[in-house]
A and B are shown apart, each in its own frame.
With several copies, the nearest count.
Chain A
């Protein structure tokens, strides 16, 4: 099972992302699988950017914890990462600029200097950033990636207008490739390229495509890392997909616009990160009260407050669960992998429109910004679109339309503005079936009670639609890992490692956070021998949520909150420690 992981490091502005993009796309085209995670900082130039790209011929769901080839674009990278390279790995560096401490290398790892200036000499005066292309070329040779496909990828990236530039880049890359061919042994990965073309795509881009599939027609957002990727995609592609894309003055405006649009009958979505979501909470309650559909994504980053804007964390669950005052129905979904990013959007819109409520999606920097290979056939463009009960109109032009009719399942047919006979006012004050306020003049406690219950009933019915959670891996196991959202990728591989080491392990990763499958999850956890909650935060927000919903506590937990995503080997090791400590405690 050939596989390797490349690390590219340098300062912001040194072209790290493009190395990852070219190599990643090439691998995907050749039919390999890839997963890349970019560790960067909240600074425009400088800092230490560190991208890891894992390429394998089987599906990979995280960036792993091996390091086969490192491209050091600056001294800093060599200093930081030389010692991390696996035995048998290689360090590629610009011999003119970077000095390597060979003693730091693990046994069998080797440092391979590339005479970049010499190789670039034929090109005349070129920008300093060009070193990345030369070193990439050298890495292609080591990793035995076919050069012809790289050529195609580079050409595709520059497009028709950039033919000359593309050519120059290809030649620079070839210079590195040829130099490496002459001087270094490849890693011996023995690929079999299926040449099945795969996409290379981020979670944010998958959300965007999902929105198109869902028939989203309105997208509003205010820039905020790590949610901005959706805005970028939408700004570029919205018009051709028939989507109105707006970046208004703040997040208050973002969600209120989206609710206005959603209320009017178009599918409207918005996204932000934790701080922006905090500003949106009041309007989430408004959507609950108006019974207006809206889909909102909170892409978590390391908090609290401004926190570490370019780092990942899963610590906004409390915020999303508690968004806005009062009791009202809402749905909270946490997609667990790239494909679910796509699939969750149509699902969210169907729930939002059928039940007329806000659907909140929780993602995180890891899920939203990582790049991964994806089969194009996996994207189900032809999803069912369910718009729920809609009033068709009538010739009655009088007052009296019951927008909030008391129904058995709590859902009252909507009347899109513009529909004859369906005139009404949707109000955030408590109201009666017609929407007439009952907060003024005579507060009507019995009607108030009915309206609270009507809204509440929607949740009971909705809950029945949601697919129940299932155990992944063996039905019976010594250890059950429990988690949510994006951690699935690392948890699955950790379980695999553990099973390989004789610790039978299965996992439960929850996507449907609210409403919660209390009965099903309780049954699963009660059967489990030893449960460990794995999550990317300090206080164990999901662990607490689990207890709130089931009354059950887990036997141990693994938490990380330094901003870096978990790695499978690290998790597997910690599981063993936790089990050991836990069984001693018993």
Chain B
């Protein structure tokens, strides 16, 4: 991603063609604003930004930012984004989606993308509910919570996305809160600058269907890891922090390490972005390929 320092851009440059149609007060507004701020600050041109999403309220985000975007299938944003990045690794690729999209139907792709470590920032608007389909339990819905699909309380334990990324070799794992827009923008900028696959789980309350994990519920509970001297190079310590839930819930960077992303070692990308490579192979190579069969 941007190697040399570049000039900041105005946030307004990223204003999308239509206004977001989220419910008033939805956490996703904060995520959208923070993302615009982050890319503006990093000086990434709209043409060089690709925002990929799945399906869900949160996954509508690419429609609300001026840049390239793919609004793909429910659960498939992660493979689509990896294909985009490998095809043109000069672009900044950001995935934006929901907890159902990424941790439910898309869980396999997510964990494998972490270990594959292609240079992408994955932002999950984790509202612990299926918003767009009007309020069923998601994989991060707390045990016992009542939803439309669990009217007598959810019997399943939630997954722990940050811990999953941490034990799968994640090279950058963080958590934000859409109630803290500046902190969030800052985390996004760091996640984009990180070379490798970065997971940013964001508490982005659904004000319509999740009456448990609301802004007022989060506010007194969240604290900043970086303010408590957490060692971001200690994976086990990071897992321990990721287990924290209840009275104290950590935000910030759990773990980071220098990494060489897959797109930096892939042999076919050595000569530059794939999309810029000529389509013809040389007659020498053609001959070599044929000779193998003779």
Which A residues form the contact surface with B (CB < 8 A)? 13, 25, 28-29, 42-47, 197-201, 205, 209, 212-215, 217-218, 220, 222-225, 228, 231-232, 235-254, 256-268, 275, 282-283, 286, 290, 305-306, 374, 376, 379, 381, 385, 397-400, 416-429, 434, 436-437, 440-441
Chain A residue at minimal CB-CB distance from B112: A249
| B17 x A428 contact (CB < 8 A) | no
**What's the minimum C-beta distance from B219 to chain A, rounded to whole angstroms?**
24
| B279 x A385 contact (CB < 8 A) | yes
Contact flag A282-B73 (CB < 8 Å), given A252-B79, A264-B84: yes
Q: Which of B49-76 contact A (CB under 8 A)?
A: 50-52, 55, 57, 60, 62-63, 66-76
| A200 x B293 contact (CB < 8 A) | yes
Q: Which B residues touch A267, using CB under 8 A?
A: 279
**What's the minimum C-beta distance from A157 to chain B, rounded to whole angstroms?**
11
The docked-state distance in angstroms from the alpha carbon of A267 to that of B268 is: 14
Of the stretches B148-156, B171-179, B185-193, the one at the interface is B148-156
Interface string of B13-45 (1 = CB under 8 A from A): 101111001111000000000000000000001
| B17 x A266 contact (CB < 8 A) | no
| A260 x B274 contact (CB < 8 A) | no
B142 within 8 A of A: no
User: Which are the 5 A-B pairs with shortest beta-carbon distances?
Assistant: A260-B83, A215-B279, A425-B69, A256-B79, A264-B87
Chain A residue at minimal CB-CB distance from B105: A250
The docked-state distance in angstroms from the alpha carbon of A416 to that of B79 is: 18
| B81 x A236 contact (CB < 8 A) | no
**What's the minimum C-beta distance from A230 to chain B, rounded to whole angstroms?**
11
| A45 x B279 contact (CB < 8 A) | no
| A427 x B275 contact (CB < 8 A) | no
The docked-state distance in angstroms from the alpha carbon of A224 to that of B131 is: 12
Contact flag A246-B86 (CB < 8 Å), given A198-B294, A425-B62: yes
- Among A213, A224, A259, A398, find the residue whose CB has the most chain B CB atoms closer than 10 A: A259
Contact flag A264-B63 (CB < 8 Å), given A42-B132, A256-B72, A305-B73: no
B283 within 8 A of A: yes
Contact flag A266-B267 (CB < 8 Å), given A44-B57, A249-B108, A397-B13: no
**What's the minimum C-beta distance from B118 to chain A, rounded to whole angstroms?**
10
| A235 x B148 contact (CB < 8 A) | yes
Chain A residue at minimal CB-CB distance from B287: A376
Which B residues form the contact surface with A (CB < 8 A)? 13, 15-18, 21-24, 45-48, 50-52, 55, 57, 60, 62-63, 66-76, 78-84, 86-88, 90-91, 104-105, 107-109, 112, 116, 130-134, 136-137, 139, 148-152, 208, 266-269, 271, 273-275, 277-281, 283, 285-286, 288-290, 293-294
Q: Which A residues touch B84, using CB under 8 A?
A: 260-261, 263-264, 417
| B82 x A239 contact (CB < 8 A) | no
Among B21, B47, B71, B152, point to the contact of A427 (Cβ < 8 A): B71
Q: Which B residues touch A235, using CB under 8 A?
A: 148-151
| A209 x B289 contact (CB < 8 A) | yes
The docked-state distance in angstroms from the alpha carbon of A139 to that of B75 is: 45
The docked-state distance in angstroms from the alpha carbon of A28 to that of B290 is: 13
| B79 x A253 contact (CB < 8 A) | yes
Contact flag A257-B82 (CB < 8 Å), given A223-B130, A418-B88: yes
| B293 x A218 contact (CB < 8 A) | no
